[in-house]
Amino acid sequence: MKISKNLARTALFLGVCVLLYLLFAPYYLKQSFTHWYPDLDDYKIFENDTVETAQPIPWEYASNYNKKEFTKEALSYLESHETTAFLVIQDGKILHESYWDNGSDSVHSNLFSVTKSIVSLLIGIAIDEGKIESVDESIGKYIPEFSNDNRGDITIQNLLTMSSGLDWNEIYTSPFSITTQAYYGNNLRKLTTQQKLVATPGKRFKYLSGDTQLLSYIVEKATGVTVSKYAQEKIWKPLGAEYPALWSKDSKNGDERAFCCFHTNAKDIARIGQLVLDKGMWNGKRIVSESYMREATEAKTYLLDRDDNELVFYAYQWWILPTKNGPVPYMRGHKGQYIYSIPDKNAVVVRLGEKKALEEIGYITEDITHYLEIGLSLLE
């Protein structure tokens, strides 16, 4: 009887704790504990804006499409890391495509931080159209919350190069980090405009998702439309995407999660990889200026990395992978979403999936070079 009473008291105590949690925990924390960890299909748990397409332009297929198979080692690696899509395009034609599990050529998949590169393109297009004067403009002109203190002197270029000096804490494993609050919260604007300046801007690279979110506010202020609509009209429709994309928001009438949450498929996101190869052109039409595209994909060596070396692996929201045949610009997202643009092969390699490698080699995880090698092996 005594044991039963103790169990009853424990159950009551736990029940009260759960009730208090449900009543008083912040919205983002409830969402975090409910959904626990970001997934490729998180568009199902968020509000979304649809990024519509216009006249689809399907990819052509190479004459030797899917003729070359993965080696046993490559296939084992892809499957052990829960790859959902692997795509290789060369000379503007699909050479290889494979899908696993829930992956397909049309399924919506969260690209996570690949989204940052899309925001960079929107900045470039707004500059081309004269809606933004240049990357040297101060952000206080566009973000009122920053206009009355020294944060307003941060430049657009500082945000593009992740050298703003703001105090964002890029931690994915803690339910209490600002990154978790941004991902699961419902008031991004308030959260991201409360950041403090803790370092001199334009000196050192430090990866901050908040910088990209601020860039999205600049796009909206400069263009008068949401980043979803601007992307729709300036990128998605002109590129002839086959399927509408989804861009997750913090609430029904709120802001796009510009640092993380563009959802599309491998074949449509490969169009941006091809855009890089073609220096801002698509099927003979200029999408973004060659000068901006070059700046966006050339490492900013005037900045320092965390070890006080020249920054050789990052540009304007694009990663750079040094290789023996020259630098390879690539887009990169949580869980191993990678889109490589390989100039010397005139090729694009896309890998989407659920799992990335944990082993780090310098500033990257070892899977980044491994997937590139697998893609190159299909090109040889």
Structural domain total, the chain: 1
d(CA 352, CA 47): 23
Q: Is residue 245 part of a domain?
A: yes
Q: Is residue 27 part of a domain?
A: no
111: domain CATH number is: 3.40.710.10
CA dihedral (163, 167, 365, 124) in degrees, to 10, reads -40
At what angle are helices 367-379 and 72-80 packed, to 10 degrees? Answer: 140
d(CA 54, CA 166): 39
d(CA 182, CA 46): 12
Q: Is residue 10 part of a domain?
A: no
d(CA 293, CA 235): 14
CA dihedral (43, 44, 48, 51) in degrees, to 10, reads 60
User: Residues 189, 195, 201, CA angle at the centre, nearest 5°?
Assistant: 120
Burial of 47 (0-12, 13-18, 19+ CB in 10 A): middle
Summarize pLDDT for 155-195 with one digit per residue, the tens. Answer: 999 999 999 999 998 987 677 789 989 999 999 999 999 99
User: Would you state the pLDDT for residue 268?
Assistant: 98
Q: Is residue 2 part of a domain?
A: no
Per the CB < 8 A criterion, the answer to whether 202 and 17 are in contact is no
pLDDT at 271 > cutoff 80: yes
Q: Is residue 243 part of a domain?
A: yes
Task: Kindly state the tokens that stand for 301.
Answer: 């060596």
Q: Is residue 20 part of a domain?
A: no
> Which domain range does residue 217 map to?
42-379
Summarize pLDDT for 18-72 with one digit per residue, the tens. Answer: 444 445 556 655 565 565 678 999 999 999 999 999 999 999 999 999 999 999 9
Pairing verdict, β 60-61 and 93-99: parallel
Q: Is residue 331 part of a domain?
A: yes
